Structure 1
Amino acid sequence: MWLAAPTDLKLLPYDVHIWRIDLERPEPELQALEATLSSDEIARARRFYFQQHQQRFIAGRGILRAILGRYLGVEPQAVRFEYEPRGKPILGDTYIHSGLSFNLSHSQDLAVCAVSINRVIGVDIEYIRSVSDVEALAKRFFSPREYAVVRSLPPQQQQKVFFRYWTCKEAYLKATGVGLVQLEQVEISLTPEEPAKLTTDEQWSLIELLPADNYVGAVAVEGFELDLKCWQY
């Protein structure tokens, strides 16, 4: 599923490109990636208490710049970002008119970047970890129908389904720039055997991802007729 990207990378109107990024990079590469970051990104990295979290942030933002630079035909350090009111990064400066839309998500030592053109896009991944109060969280953040699905499952299935719901909701909310404040207002239809569907907005496509063992993810894209390609950075 995750292939090496071609050297002549092209993004057509129906394309959705998903990049899988290993955030554990060797020190020389981290230094090279840090050199491409802006001063505010470096300051943000320094605010992380643990060095591992600093390094993962540097890897994620540096590789994001490298990926976007390939589409824009510029060096990574030339990429400029602006931020929407709730913090979603978008391309800024002269690149705001490129039509390129992107979103980045990370969990543990893995990140995914979703890219499209002239379509709003959002992506989320989560490492499936043990959540002791999964039913209580589902009752708080999910719709009654979603909560009923989680509650009906045996414990060994509840965790994965919970995170499937979560990533699908967050991918859509990240795409729209709303944030988690409306998590319970986004309704998803899924079962352990059936893929997810977004039932609260029929103008969007929702695609679940399997980034790696013990991870789940989802990408939400405005519109339909998509050609999904998954690249390994």
Structure 2
Amino acid sequence: MGGPGPFARALASLDPPHWEPAAGAPPSGAETAALWRAVVPGPGPALESMAEQLAGEARVRAATMAHPLRRAQFVTGQALRRAVSSPSGAFSLSHTGDWVAAAVCGCGPLGVDAETARARRSMERLARRFFSPEEHALVAGCGPEELPVFFYALWTAKEARIKALSRDRAHPAPVSLLALLETDTAAFTVTGPTLCIPLSEGRMHWCWLAPGVLCACLVPHAAATLRFWEWRPAG
């Protein structure tokens, strides 16, 4: 691979999705996957109303969480799960900062991960620890503008894949995305608000969940359409 530049630039220049507001899951089948986002509310009645609707282990866990933001993320994620998931379908959840992301589909594998893509001193160290030597070398060679986008593209994709496959495998085999991220842009496609590459298990989509928040979603091959929804609780 000549370098991560074309991939990182294509990803950075994606237009944001059009998020359709909804209070619950619209009907969908195996041919359509849905990516949801929800704003994490600050302390106040909206958050406590969601917390009061939790039950069982989730309610106990929320009551014992001391960190305000983590509690708010957890409560919002559980409320979103209750509103949009289906007992017979696949569901995956992630959160970062003030946002929660959820992927829903009638079948799997399905996995989602969202991260705030800002420069951190720890990126090179994390790449050395968790990425392949080739991936680490590319991260280390990135320019300052490309580095956060490329690092978090790899990170979110790996996390989304682990979430998708860990339901069927105790330890999913690692996969290097480098073979698919060639300087020839035929290796990836840009369709509307997403950049997509094919994997053996499905298709990996990246998009911007919000400004500066990168999201990767692995959807099954059967899901030919990915729709974007913003959860807005009724009332």
Matched, 1:146 2:135: yes
Alignment deviations for residues 90-124 of structure 1 (CA, whole Å, 9 cap, x no partner): xxxxx3xx2x1101100011011100002221000
SS of the counterpart of 1:167? helix
Cα 1:127/1:53, change in 2 over 3 Å = same
- Aligned equivalent of 1:23: 40
Is the 8 Å Cα contact of residues 33 and 63 (structure 1) preserved in structure 2?
A: no
Q: Identity of counterpart residues, as a percentage?
A: 27
Alignment deviations for residues 156-195 of structure 1 (CA, whole Å, 9 cap, x no partner): 32122111110001000001127xx969922113379864
* TM-score, length-scaled by structure 1: 0.76
Alignment deviations for residues 46-74 of structure 1 (CA, whole Å, 9 cap, x no partner): 33222332223212211221222xxx5xx
Partners of 2:205 and 2:163 lie apart in 1 by 14
Is the 8 Å Cα contact of residues 205 and 224 (structure 1) preserved in structure 2?
A: no
Aligned counterparts, 1:50-65, within 5 A: 50-65=67-82
Partners of 2:151 and 2:81 lie apart in 1 by 28
- How many equivalent pairs are there? 202
**Structure showing greater relative contact order (alpha-carbon pairs closer than 8 Å, 6 or more residues apart):** 2
Q: Pick from 175, 179, 189: which aligns with 2:164?
A: 175
- Aligned equivalent of 1:203: 201
The one-letter amino acid of 1:163's match is Y
Q: Pick from 77, 98, 122: which aligns with 1:109?
A: 98
Unaligned runs of 5+ in 1: 73-94
Is the 8 Å Cα contact of residues 143 and 184 (structure 1) preserved in structure 2?
A: no
Q: Pick from 113, 120, 124: which aligns with 2:109?
A: 120
- Aligned equivalent of 2:83: 66
RMSD over equivalenced CA pairs, Å: 2.8
Q: Pick from 37, 56, 60: which aligns with 1:39?
A: 56
SS of the counterpart of 1:218? strand
The one-letter amino acid of 2:201's match is Q
